[in-house]
Every structure is written in C-alpha cells, then in structure tokens.
Structure 1
Amino acid sequence: MVEILRSLGNIARALDSISNIEFKPYELTKGQYLYLVRVCEQPGIISEELSTMLKVDRSTVARAIKKLESNGLVERRSSGTNKKNKHIFATERGLSIYPIIKAENDYSNQVALMGLSQAEKEQLARLLNQVEENVNGDWELVKKGGIRGYLKQDADHD
C-alpha cells in the first residue's frame, strides 16, 4: 500500500509550526491564522460553516474565534433575522494582517511546488483534491455518528 498520510501530516505540521512562529508578532498562534483567513475571505461567515470548512468541531472554532476576538482581530455580530447565529467579521486590524498571511501562504506554496513542472503541479492539485474529497466522506460519516468500514467488522462481532 502506498503511504501518503504521514507525508501529508509532516508537511502540514511543518508549515503550521513555521506559521505559528512567523505570525507570533500578530498574536496569531495555534493555527488561528486559518480562521482569520477564512473570515477575511468570507465576511459574515458563521461558526458552523467554519467548522465544516476547516474540519474541526464547533468547540474548537468557538475557542479560536474567542481568542481572535479578544485580540481585536474579529468581531461577532447578530443577524437581523436569526439572533442565535453570530456572523463573524474581520476588524480593521484583522484585515490589515490578511495580506501578510496570504503572502506567507503563497510563498509556502511556491516552495512546496519547487522542481515540479506546471503539468505536475496541476496533476498534484487534482490528485490532492480527490484525496480530500475521499476523506471528506469519512469525516461527514463519523461526525454524524457513523462507523467507518474498518470498524464495522469489529462491531459485527460484538
């Protein structure tokens, strides 16, 4: 079997570690920059959408947004029609940091793809999108209380 998840995990952890160090002056730690980027790109997003987009549970989103809010990077506003859902917006300070985060992402992407031809880059993007789509199915299943295939055999024997 071809093993890709370790490499993907190592890449993700390395880039996350770099970002946490580089974004420390902006009071962005522990992946909070991911939340800020999504809020900047989709003003008025709600926590549930962030949860689905970033593949994390709602309590993780709530903690991250609370921290960003306390650092003056985002604010939550009630909707006129639905008071329960708070829409999240970047503050002026948050918006001013967004181009720095975007530049870091573009640079990291450029470094990661060094030595690959344009055709290889496009193929890699297509393949990774397919891998992501495959994993998303399991994420949705488990999030809704389902049991993935490798566990069904154990459950049938109990």
Structure 2
Amino acid sequence: MEKNNCDNIGKYISQIYRKGRIFIGKDLERYNIGKGQFMYLLELYIEDGRNQEELAEVLKIDKGTTARAIKKLEENGFVRREKDENDKRSNRVYLTEEGKGIKDNIFFILNRWDEKMSEQLNKEERELMIKLLKKVCSNINI
C-alpha cells in the first residue's frame, strides 16, 4: 500500500464504528444508557452473573472504565453487583428485572443499525461482507 493513499480498510471501519456509536447512542438516550454501556448489557444477556474483570477482558476495555460503566448501569437500575462467593475482592454483575426488561429494545436498536448499514447491499453482498469481516476479526488476536 502506498504511504500517501488514504483509502484503506481501517478508515472505513473507523467511520462505521463512529457512525454506529452515534446512531445507537441516540436511541439509547431514552433509557439513560451511554454509548459505552450497552456492550456490558449485551455480554450479560449472553451470560448473566459474569465477573466484572471477565467483562473487561472479553470487551477489551480497561478495568477502570468497566467499573465506571457498571456503576452507571447499577445507578440506573439495570444491573446489580454482588461480591463473588469464591473471591471477595471480585464482583459478579447481574441483570435486574429492569435490565432484562429492555433486552428486546436493545436488540431492536442494534437490528435497526444492522439494517441501516446494509440497506444498499443485496443478500449475497451482505453475506459476503459478514464473511469477510469475520475473517478479518479472526485474523486479529490481541
């Protein structure tokens, strides 16, 4: 790749990421959920009661940022933290009824973003894009 060529994959991935945060963030405002907080809810929808450190690790987000995001979700009534029975220094994070109750709304917002991103793609192009993005993601181990 030429040094002066600004047309690269990272540029477009960065744009998609930033535009996605804006799009999703606008819809999440009504629930008082910040752009950086919904990812924790998604992980808890997969497996409730996860360790706070595990959430940080799986999301590749530092522990301090994770603690602040979880605290905000807790203040807004979406999650609760409990000391881990096996490790009193560690917290497990659980969805509250309110957190569980907005699951369908969260997925509706994410599906709207998915549709927005792929509205000009036909079925084959969309499937190819997913296949290529999976391949790129699996190639990057950090």
Number of residue-to-residue matches in the alignment: 137
User: Where do 1:20-35 residues align within 5 Å?
Assistant: 20-35=25-40
1:107 equivalenced with 2:112 (yes/no): yes
> CA-atom RMSD, angstroms?
1.7
Q: Normalised by the size of structure 1, how large is the TM-score?
A: 0.78
SS at match of 1:23: helix
Runs of 5+ unmatched residues, structure 2: 2-6
1:15-70 CA deviation, whole Å, 9 max, x = no partner?
11122222112111132111122222210111222223222111111110011111
Matched, 1:91 2:109: no
- Please identify, of 58-67 and 121-130, the stretch whose mean Cα deviation from structure 2 is larger: 121-130
Q: Which has the higher helix share?
A: 1
Q: SS at 2:22's partner residue?
A: helix
1:13 to partner: Cα distance: 0.9
Indicate the structure (1 or 2) with the bigger Cα radius of gyration.
1
Kindly indicate whether structure 1 or structure 2 has the higher relative contact order, using CA contacts under 8 Å at least 6 residues apart: 2
Percent of aligned pairs sharing the same letter: 31
Find the partner of 2:51 among 46, 52, 55.
46
- TM-score where L is the length of structure 2: 0.86
Structure 1 runs not aligned, ≥5 long: 140-158
Distance 1:43 1:119 in 2: 35
In 1, Cα distance between equivalents of 2:113 and 2:76: 25
- Whether contact under 8 Å (2:23, 2:113) holds in the other structure is no
